[in-house]
A and B are shown apart, each in its own frame.
Chain A
Amino acid sequence: MGTPVATAIQNVETYLGSFTEFQKRAPGAKLTWLRTLREAAFARFCETGFPTTHDEDWRFTNVSAIARTPFFLPSGRKQLSEGDLQLWSMEGTAARLVFVDGQFAPELSDTGSLPAGVSVSGLAEQIAKNPQDVESHLGRYLDTGRDPFSALNTAFLNDGAYFHVRRGTVVEGPIHLLFVSTASDVATMTHPRNLLIVENEAQATVVEEYVSLGGGTVLSNSVTELVAGENATVSHYMIEREHKQAFNISTLRIQQDRSANVASHSLLIGGGLVRNNVHPVLAGEGGECLINGLFIGEGRQHLDNYMHVEHASPHCSSRQFYNGILDEQAHGVFHGRIVVHKDAQKTDAKQTNRNLLLSDDAQIDTKPQLEIYADDVKCTHGATIGQIEENALFYLQSRGIDEASARKLLLLAFASECVERMKEGPARKYAKTLIHEQVLSVSAHVHSAGGLANQGAKRTWEEVG
């Protein structure tokens, strides 16, 4: 076991090579504040290296496969055509921004139907044109100290989506951010960085989607900083549907001001090793946050959902609902951390994680973690792990519905709980279709009747703390 450590250290050196090279040509390389931000983050990454399963935050997710692989930045941007993107086209969008291997592709993007009061562009372009707008937010919210991947992203901060919705502006359709990773002979890493600012009383929906075009070893390590002003309403969707060998690490850091209402919907269906961090900070009074998620794993997929919900002000409420469906040898993780600060009285935080295991080899680790420093709060959490209920299956069959269809219906019902929490609109419709397809694909796997005989292995626990 000595070798991987040595390899990991060597790899920090390959990262040093990449970083030195990157610093010369990076957007805003001449801006001192940005240079300092990148350098400090890189120093932090060198200090910690990649996390191991000894870190409490990474107990259930082993990233040594990422640490071992020497990843390189993409050498240039491939030219894609509109036809290449057909699979991921969403109806009714207000704008679409396409990123190919981490870089903004204006020729594939469309921002034509946005209302006045909204600026949308690639982040690199924004850094070049209006660095002062970017400076007041970029990197101000993300905690690079706790998470090495966030540090790495900041060190290699290059391009991503930038949008700014001015006060009181309502963007009707979703803004679709499509990140396409293309096939390459060498292991490629991208570090998409998104800065999304929704001012007071403004309203927007954003869909961040990660997809692959062709195979190859890719690491997508993204960070999104989402700022919701007073009374702002924001829906954010994260959809991971890269190929089944891809590495995907993503962090959504939400900063909520007074009475802001934010919904985060995470949908993990693709990728081989996936870690999705959602970190809202309810910084102003009366904020509301919904953190909704669904993960569907098959094969040897590893899907890790890490929540860190921070209540920093009084009278805020947060709701976490995560449903997992795991088949074959898939491994799911739900880590729900809720931190209630000393002054955040009257906090109302709730967390629910429900899981269905469809095979004997599928695995789920679910862990609540409550840190409460205020004394007048309401926090509850609960998790269930089970199989498709024999009772329910028999009930449907006894009405004439064949076993395969009955299973499909029950899986769809379980998954649709997640859809029900999304606001009506094009983004929900898009997500629903995707979920439907994925559930059909999973329910088409052949299951022996033996799956039902294992009812004894069913484990259910519910705790209220």
Chain B
Amino acid sequence: MSLLQIKNLHVTVAGHEILKGIDLTINPGEVHSIMGPNGSGKSTLAQVLSRRETYKVTEGEVLFNGKDLLAMKPEEAACEGVFLAFQYPVEIPGISNAYFLRSALNAVRKYRGEDEVDAMDFLPMYREKLKFLDMDEKLMNRSLNEGFSGGEKKRNEILQMAMLQPKLAILDETDSGLDIDALRIVANGVNSMRSPERGMLVVTHYQRLLNYIVPDYVHVLVDGRIARSGGPELALELEDKGYGWVEAGRQTAPASL
């Protein structure tokens, strides 16, 4: 069975149609990349899949492991195994990283019928992931993302992903704003989680990330539709010719790049 099946997905935000009929299937073990210019609907797709309620689905269907994903609340989708690494992780003063992460982990474990982890078991796991992502241990007692640098925030997203072990990892522009060292660390974190059971959807504006996380498939999203699909070589071609090339091929309105 496919891990994720998107059929003819239409989505509007505040009355504007952003996604105009998306079809996409991800099987376990596959890494798909969605590329596209600003405003093409990449982030909308990522957020709809993690069930943000401000996005209205007007048509279509999404199955996750055969279940109706669109009927789920964000927390249910998360517990079923969908994880979104945010483009702009939210800062929440007053909740520590450690407390937040343990609450999340236990919510997910409870849903899956597993025992909750206590602080004693949690801390070693947490420390190990911090180390792996080259993060300062002191961050664990600081407020969630508060005062974190851009790179720290993105690493914190990957750390959460590593702790929660999702079935489908969606990375929304995880590379934006990272220097090459941070990018390597993040990519290394993501690659370590590639497995035959797990699917990934890597949303990015730039081809650069795909040098480090090499996808099996690349899809180019233009004006709410997938304009072209191919292998990793498509990303290189895009890098070479620019999004205007795909847009012109679709004979849509002139690109505003």
- The range of chain A's interface size is 20 to 34
**Complex contacts, B52 vs chain A, CB 8 Å:** 394, 398
Whether A405 pairs with B92 at a CB distance below 8 angstroms is: no
- Known interface pairs A394-B52, A395-B86, A405-B107. Does A400 touch B94 (Cβ–Cβ under 8 Å)? no
**Residues from chain B with Cβ under 8 Å of A420 in the complex:** 94
CA of A449 to CA of B143, assembled, Å: 27
30 inter-chain pairs at a CB distance below 8 angstroms, sorted by A residue, are A390-B54, A394-B52, A395-B86, A396-B92, A396-B100, A397-B75, A397-B78, A398-B52, A398-B74, A398-B77, A398-B83, A398-B84, A398-B86, A399-B107, A399-B108, A400-B107, A401-B75, A402-B75, A402-B107, A403-B73, A405-B107, A410-B92, A412-B94, A413-B92, A413-B94, A413-B95, A413-B143, A416-B94, A417-B93, A449-B53
**B73, B78, B79, B86: which has the most chain A beta carbons within 10 Å?**
B78
Q: Which residues from chain B contact A405 at a C-beta distance below 8 Å?
A: 103, 107
Q: B70 at interface (Cβ–Cβ under 8 A)?
A: no
A426 to B214, CA, bound (A): 56
A400 lies within 8 A of B100 (CB): no
Q: Is A247 in the interface zone, CB < 8 Å from B?
A: no
Contact B79 A400 (CB under 8 A): yes
A403-B75 in contact (CB<8A): yes
Q: How far is A401 from B92 in the complex, measured between Cα atoms in Å?
A: 15
Pairwise interchain contact A417-B164, C-beta atoms closer than 8 A: no
A449–B93 CA distance with the chains assembled, in angstroms = 23
Q: Which residues of B contact A410 (CB under 8 A)?
A: 92, 95
Q: How far is the CA of A399 from the CA of B164 in the complex (A)?
A: 8
Separation of A403 and B52 alpha carbons in the complex (Å): 12
The distance from the CB of B77 to the nearest CB of chain A, in whole angstroms, is: 8
Contact residues, B194-244 vs A (CB, 8 A): none
Across the interface, A395 reaches (CB within 8 A) one of B92, B105, B108, B111, namely: B92
- Tell which of A392, A400, A417, A452 touches B90, judged by Cβ atoms closer than 8 Å: A392
Interface size on B, residues (CB 8 A): 30
B104 contacts the other chain (CB 8 A): yes
A414 close to B (CB within 8 Å): yes
User: Chain A: residues with CB nearer than 8 A to chain B?
Assistant: 389-392, 394-403, 405-406, 409-410, 412-414, 416-417, 420, 449, 452
A409→B95 contact, CB < 8 A: yes
User: Is the CB–CB distance between B107 and A413 below 8 Å?
Assistant: no
Instruction: Name the CB-closest residue of B to A449.
Output: B53
Tell me the bound Cα distance from A416 to B84 in angstroms. Answer: 28
Asked whether, in the complex, the Cβ of B104 is within 8 Å of the Cβ of A400, the reply is yes
Cβ–Cβ contact A401 & B107, under 8 A: yes
| CB-contact partner of A392 in B73, B74, B92, under 8 A | B92
Which chain B residues in 50-102 approach chain A with CB under 8 Å? 50-54, 73-75, 77-79, 83-84, 86, 89-90, 92-95, 100
Q: In the complex the two chains form, what is the Cα distance from A391 to B103 in whole Å? A: 18
A400 with B75: in contact, given A409-B103, A417-B94 (CB under 8 Å)? yes
A398 to B144, CA, bound (A): 14
**CA A398 to CA B52, docked complex, whole Å:** 8
**Closest beta carbon of chain A to B235's beta carbon, Å:** 27
What residues of A have a CB within 8 angstroms of the CB of B33 in the complex? none
**Nearest A residue (CB) for B143:** A413
Within 8 A of A (CB), among B237-253: none
CA distance A389 to B94 in the complex (A): 14
Bound together, the chains give a CA A449 to CA B107 distance in angstroms of: 22
Contacts of B75 in A (CB 8 A): 397-398, 400-403, 406
Counting chain B CB atoms within 10 Å of each CB, the highest count among A399, A400, A406, A413 belongs to A400
Q: Is B160 interfacial (CB-CB < 8 Å)?
A: yes
- In the complex, what's the smallest C-beta–C-beta distance from B61 to chain A, in angstroms? 21
Query: Do residues A400 and B78 form an inter-chain contact, with CB atoms below 8 A?
Result: yes
A417 contacts across to B, CB distance below 8 A: 93-94
- Interfacial chain A residues near B77, Cβ < 8 Å: 398
Are A397 and B94 interface neighbours, CB within 8 A? no
**Among A394, A409, A449, A452, which residue has its beta carbon within 8 angstroms of that of B74?**
A394
3 A-B pairs closest in CB distance: A413-B94, A399-B104, A397-B74
Residue of A nearest to B89 (CB): A395
In the complex, the chain A residue whose C-beta lies closest to that of B107 is A400
Residues on A with beta carbons closer than 8 Å to the beta carbon of B93 = 413, 417
Residues on the B chain within 8 Å of A389, using CB: 90
CA distance A449 to B54 in the complex (A): 11
Name the distance in Å between A292's Cβ and chain B's nearest Cβ.
Answer: 15
How far is the CB of A43 from the nearest CB of chain B, in Å? 49
Within the assembled complex, what's the spacing in Å between the Cα atoms of A397 and B111?
A: 13
Determine the distance from Cα of A412 to Cα of B95 in the docked complex, in whole angstroms.
8
User: Chain B's nearest CB lies how many Å from the CB of A229?
Assistant: 35
Tell me whether A400 and B50 are in contact (CB under 8 A).
Answer: no
- In the complex, the answer to whether B104 meets A401 with C-beta atoms within 8 Å is yes
Q: Which residue of A lies closest to B96 (CB)?
A: A413
Q: A452: nearest residue on chain B (CB-CB)?
A: B53
Which residues, 98 to 141 on B, are CB-close (under 8 Å) to A? 100, 103-105, 107-108, 111
Inter-chain contacts of A397 with B (CB < 8 A): 73-75, 78
- CB pair B73 A414 closer than 8 Å: no
A400→B111 contact, CB < 8 A: yes
A398 touching B92 in the complex, CB below 8 Å, given contacts A390-B54, A405-B103, A405-B107 = no
> Chain A contacts of B107 at CB under 8 A?
399-402, 405
